[in-house]
Chains A and B, each alone.
Chain A
Amino acid sequence: DAKTTQPPSMDCAEGRAANLPCNHSTISGNEYVYWYRQIHSQGPQYIIHGLKNNETNEMASLIITEDRKSSTLILPHATLRDTAVYYCIVRVLTGGGNKLTFGTGTQLKVEL
């Protein structure tokens, strides 16, 4: 299984863009990059995923490097409610199914 490396913590000023990096240098060609976040005492929340191309949705943008060895999650205008642990995950297959392998994530703190 490909592993991911994320900084343990980051700070961001409210209203500014939050750029969360993730390294996944051993990713395989058919593995997707997923991002989830977990606000304190809640279940993880899906944010976005991608394979090769950059992706954008109403929550965030995902930028994947051409060699796919790293990616960046961008929250364009961070708010206090975006304070959470952000997990970068490479999707694996287990038998006929799949599992999410979570690391320890990045604790993002958005401040005034």
Chain B
Amino acid sequence: ETGVTQSPTHLIKTRGQQVTLRCSSQSGHNTVSWYQQALGQGPQFIFQYYREEENGRGNFPPRFSGLQFPNYSSELNVNALELDDSALYLCASSPGAGSPYEQYFGPGTRLTVT
């Protein structure tokens, strides 16, 4: 059984550009959540996808968008990158969308915006 994987590991972008981050969920999991973790802070919830539909969103602007595919893998897209978007982006999968399912995190993608 493979765990949650994310790609790429590291990424450097310029302010104003667009970026796509990818996540493969753990086998048997139909729910994917995305988090942003700034340096020295705890992860902040961006949004969650359950069976290809957005199923909850945190306090992030619309330029943060996502997709979930039929195989339950997911993408996070960020448009018009800002310097403050520099962070570790974490993907987590779970076997369901409701409590008390625990979430299993991937290693993250480190995004640097210059």
Contacts and interface: CB of A to CB of B under 8 A. Distances in A.
B56 interface: yes
Contacts, number: 73
Consensus secondary structure, chain A interface: loop
B103 A94 contact: no
Contact of B33 (A99, A103, A104): A99
Interface string B35-60: 10000111111001010000111100
A93 interface: yes
Given A43-B90, A91-B99, A93-B98, A99 B58 contact: yes
Contact of A43 (B40, B97, B105): B105
Nearest to A44: B105
Interface residues of B, number: 30
B76 interface: no
Given A97-B31, A104-B42, A43 B106 contact: yes
A49 B102 CA distance: 8
